[in-house]
Chain A
Amino acid sequence: MIALVDLFSLAAIGAGVFFFFAGTVGLLRFPDSLTRLHALAKADNLGLGLVALGLLPRADTALAALKLIVIWALVLLSGASTAQLIGRALRRGRK
């Protein structure tokens, strides 16, 4: 049972790290700011979500697990909003 939980954590965190890695590669390699923003959002939203999911079974208390979820939700909210703001600033600069 314990081994199964460990396996789950390993898989989820591994997948999260993959998304962070892919997002970073995109950030460095994509041609313009909007596509770079797109790559960054994947790393933030999905990567951090998977890492938090993998850490959930390892949390000591239910409260600690809840905090992990809240952190992910806050990052989702601020990440998505700032991506919108940066995107708009870019569009204005182009006009």
Chain B
Amino acid sequence: MSVLPFLDVALALLIVGLAVWTIAARVLFASVVGYVAYGLLLALVWVRLYAPDVALTEAAVGSGVTGVLLITAGKRLGAARAGEAGPAPGLAQKLFAGALALLVAGALAAVILILPDPAPSLAPQAAAAADGPGAGLGNPITAVLISYRSFDTMLEKVVLILAVLGVWSVGADKAWGAAPAPLGQRNPYGASVFLAQMLAPVGAVIGVHIFWVGADAPGGAFQGGALLAAMWMIAMMARITEPPRIDARRLRLALVAGPAVFLIAGLAGPLMAGSFFAFPHAFAKPIILFIEAFMLLSIAVALPALVAGPPSGRSE
């Protein structure tokens, strides 16, 4: 009799409890902390489902980067709220919002409950594709991401760029082109400078390592890129470096590098292998790693740009 099923049930209960707590928490900061813990527990669930790739992404992006985004957003909301607090929603509005939430949750539950058995799946085709052009890669996840559903993977990065553009466009007109406001305080505390100086070099090496082993083991461009992004954010918070101006040529080139290289490689597909986004069998691995290297760069730049926020024009 294994103890693992009990641990799984306990984990599931803990997650549901934490989710409820996150929604019910009165203080914004508390619910962000709840959300980060929720993401970390979810990463454990992915490990238990034998999906370490997803677990890494969940821990790095779902919990880490999103947590930082939410905390900074909460801080800005707090500053804005002091001036413009509207009247509290009335009972009818609360009931209506609750009914809508129930409707969405009910529809989702219904969709999952009426799934045919066995559920329709593209997994066999994906597995076949992973054995095909991506066969040089030891990690089938990376093979599927880049080789089977390459167009989706490329578009995901385009969405990231659009998100950065959205954040930038919130800034005032006359601030356009300037740098976002610095992330940390003017005189950073010694401990945070120390942490950034010690952790950032190690974290950068680990981020590149996770990208590199992504070809053969759990890992990849997104997980590695998120780690590199986190290291940059830590350095910005300790004021070792400042957010770059948003009209900096290098920043913009780095942002579009990933999708651009991916798209060019995809367009070269018809010449090299006979179809859009197809890679010749013999060179699949080097080509995929080449594309992923640029994706790593784009992700490592886009996530800190999201956290740094719109251009402010203030130099403090």
Contact = CB atoms under 8 A, between A and B. Distances in A.
Interface residues of B, number: 8
A84 B193 CA distance: 12
Contacts of A84: 189, 191
A86 to B, nearest CB: 10
Interface of B: 189, 191-192, 194-195, 198-199, 202
Interface of A: 74, 77-78, 81-82, 84-85, 88
B198 A85 contact: no
A88 B194 CA distance: 15
A81 B202 contact: no
A84 B195 CA distance: 10
Contacts of A82: 195
B191 A77 contact: no
B67 to A, nearest CB: 13
A74 B192 CA distance: 14
A77 B199 contact: yes
A81 B198 CA distance: 11
A12 B191 CA distance: 31
B305 to A, nearest CB: 24
Of residues B194, B195, B199, which shows the largest number of chain A Cβ atoms within 10 Å of its Cβ? B195
Contacts of A81: 191-192, 194-195
Of residues A81, A84, A88, which shows the largest number of chain B Cβ atoms within 10 Å of its Cβ? A81
19 contacts: A74-B199, A74-B202, A77-B195, A77-B198, A77-B199, A78-B195, A78-B199, A81-B191, A81-B192, A81-B194, A81-B195, A82-B195, A84-B189, A84-B191, A85-B189, A85-B191, A85-B192, A88-B189, A88-B191
Nearest 3 A/B pairs, CB to CB: A84-B191, A81-B195, A81-B191
B154 to A, nearest CB: 32
A78 to B, nearest CB: 7
Contacts of B202: 74
A82 B238 CA distance: 13
Given A78-B199, A82-B195, A85-B191, 7 more contacts: A74-B202, A77-B195, A77-B199, A81-B191, A81-B194, A84-B191, A88-B191
A34 B199 CA distance: 25
Nearest to A80: B191
A82 B192 CA distance: 8
Contacts of B189: 84-85, 88
Contacts of B194: 81
Nearest to B198: A77
Of residues B189, B191, B192, B198, which shows the largest number of chain A Cβ atoms within 10 Å of its Cβ? B191
A75 to B, nearest CB: 11
Contacts of B199: 74, 77-78
Contacts of B192: 81, 85
Nearest to A82: B195
A50 B189 CA distance: 31
A90 B238 CA distance: 19
A77 B194 CA distance: 9
B184 to A, nearest CB: 11
Nearest to A88: B189
A74 B202 CA distance: 9
A28 B221 CA distance: 39
B185 to A, nearest CB: 11
A18 B199 CA distance: 29
